[in-house]
Chain A
Amino acid sequence: MQLVIIGNSAAGLSALEAFRKRDRTSPVTVITKESTIPYSRVLLPYYLRGKTTFKNLFIRSEDYYSQMGATCITDAVVKLLSEKQTLILENSAPVSYDRLLIATGSSPVKPPIPGLEGKGIHHLWTLADVENLMPCFKKGKSVVVLGSGFVSLQGAWAALSRGLDVTVVELLSRIMPNALDDHGAQILTASMKQSGVDLRINTRTLKVEQTHDGKLKLYFNNGHDLVSDFIIVGTGVRPNIDFLEGTGIEVDNGVVVNHHMKTTLPHVYAAGDVAQVPSTFGGPCVIHALWPTALETGRIAGACMAGENISYEGSLNMNVTQMFGITVASMGKFMDVEGAETWTDKTLSHGQYLKILMKDGVPVGATCAGGSELVSTLGLLRPLIREKISIQGDPAALKKMLAQNMTRYHQAYGKGASCAL
């Protein structure tokens, strides 16, 4: 059985490793159009900021593929011939498969703003993007970040840390709509401004012009135009699925898969950012586009491709980052929604924020802003959200409940028995 995996990032690696745990002999080919040695996208902003080294971006060793008994082809897949079970590559010979995993992730897209191309227009998505950006990250330079999502703001924070002049432009009335609730966004907004970011919400970019001294001029709907050395565009992404055209595979916002990561084409699986996967809350399939989800879905796909019949428990979004001096995190449902009870921790000191959402006594999500201890509380909640465990009373009882649970557990197995804490 020949297994082919397209993509050597979170989902592809996780699939390969899960597959090899179960099948040590079948040949595996990994195809990537980027660096042969896998690197971590999550670390790119940390590298820009100088928090980690170039070497540390690479998360597997040079002899990784030989250790895994896999072959790696560095080339782009341009077409899938599903009836022939064959992939057409840009520069190399076609590759046939018995089972195929699509783990191609997504790519940033530019909004339709005239002049938003050419010199000085960047994305922050791949290693190549960061290699292009690094020379621009010089003290005293100015950058405009278009978009205020998670990745954009990490870019803004990296630029600010390096002494650049940073403007963030957001079309909507608040930052980070996919990762924070209104209150958390307000707290982060305050720290951003305090750190010296020029944050412009409710602002539409009309056009961009190259000036004759090599800079970029941005025109906005409110007339407060500005000139900048370069722009980072972080306004949205789309799945990498061009090579699937004409196959008839079901695509909605991403490649649609079931609980086994199977697509609608025979022998073809998908995982990671490219796939629209079941959610832990049931309902329609989702693309969370997060590292943990890519790992989990990759692991399920790898196991299923090796013949094991396991099902995905559903993606639970979880996000954490420290920037502009504070830590923010969220998990599950964190926006105030109808039918859910909201509990905020009133015992916290000023500037610390923790909110837990419950539905029928079961925690469904949480968000926090402030110190890293709050992040641990979200961690404790994760198994409860996943397993739909109800908390008796309000979430203030949560820590107590967990302590009691742990205690019973210790009493049952602790004394005399060989059992860890």
Chain B
Amino acid sequence: MRFITMDIKKCVVCRNCEYACSFQHTGDFNRADSNIRVAYHDDIKICLPQTCMHCEDAWCMEICPAAAITKNEETGAVEIDSGRCAGCKMCILACPFGNIHFDKSNLISRKCNLCKGEPQCVAACISGALQYVTAGDSCRNNREIFQRFMATLHTPL
């Protein structure tokens, strides 16, 4: 099991990952077509590349009324089958991270699919902020990650 991790201290908001993602999926460099989005919060000096966490019990996967979202057993990626997606946007409403986007030309939803196990955003990252790492003791699966996320919501800032 492998994950994409990111080190927010290293990210320099060059947005190479966004371009690489767009190119991989559309053959063109259009940031709006990227599945990874670098959120830059100027006021609090936070740059946060955000892409799908491939949750173990993914809310989008449960909710999809078209059975279009499945987990790729090989890569662990939560994937949308573009042939089945009807574009109802229920997955966008269900994602607690805002990581599913709408493809305005094909009128369906789209998201990261880990590029079949060779994520191009990671390959294009110039600072080493994005890494594709193997699961370890500190984190065995995405269920734990999700639980930690929910816990951080409860701790006051």
Contact = CB atoms under 8 A, between A and B. Distances in A.
A337 interface: no
26 contacts: A59-B66, A291-B63, A318-B94, A320-B93, A322-B89, A372-B101, A376-B95, A379-B94, A379-B96, A383-B150, A387-B150, A399-B41, A401-B157, A403-B41, A405-B149, A405-B152, A406-B149, A406-B152, A407-B8, A408-B157, A409-B152, A410-B7, A411-B8, A414-B6, A420-B139, A421-B3
Interface of A: 10, 40-43, 46, 51-52, 56, 59-60, 291-292, 295, 318, 320-322, 327, 329, 331, 372, 375-380, 382-384, 387, 389, 392, 399-401, 403-415, 417-421
B46 A409 contact: no
Contacts of B86: 43, 46, 51-52, 56
Interface in B127-147: 133-139, 142, 145
Given A42-B65, A421-B3, 16 more contacts: A41-B65, A42-B88, A43-B66, A291-B63, A292-B90, A321-B88, A379-B95, A382-B96, A403-B41, A406-B48, A409-B149, A410-B6, A418-B5, A418-B134, A420-B139, A421-B50
A418 B136 CA distance: 5
B145 to A, nearest CB: 5
A85 B44 CA distance: 62
Interface in B82-118: 83-84, 86-90, 92-98, 100-102, 107
A320 B3 contact: no
Nearest to A318: B93
Q: Which of B8, B43, B53, B142 has the most CB of A within 10 A?
A: B8
A322 B63 CA distance: 17
Contacts of A378: 93
Contacts of B8: 407, 410-411, 414
B54 A420 contact: yes
Contact of B89 (A59, A320, A387, A407): A320
Given A292-B63, A420-B145, A329 B93 contact: yes
A379 B92 contact: yes
A417 B153 contact: no
B4 interface: yes
A331 B93 contact: yes
A43 to B, nearest CB: 6
Contacts of B90: 42, 291-292, 320
Contacts of B9: 415
A405 B95 CA distance: 16
B63 A389 contact: no
Contact of B66 (A40, A382, A421): A40
B94 A382 contact: yes
Nearest to A295: B62
A384 B153 contact: yes
Contacts of A59: 65-67
B39 interface: yes
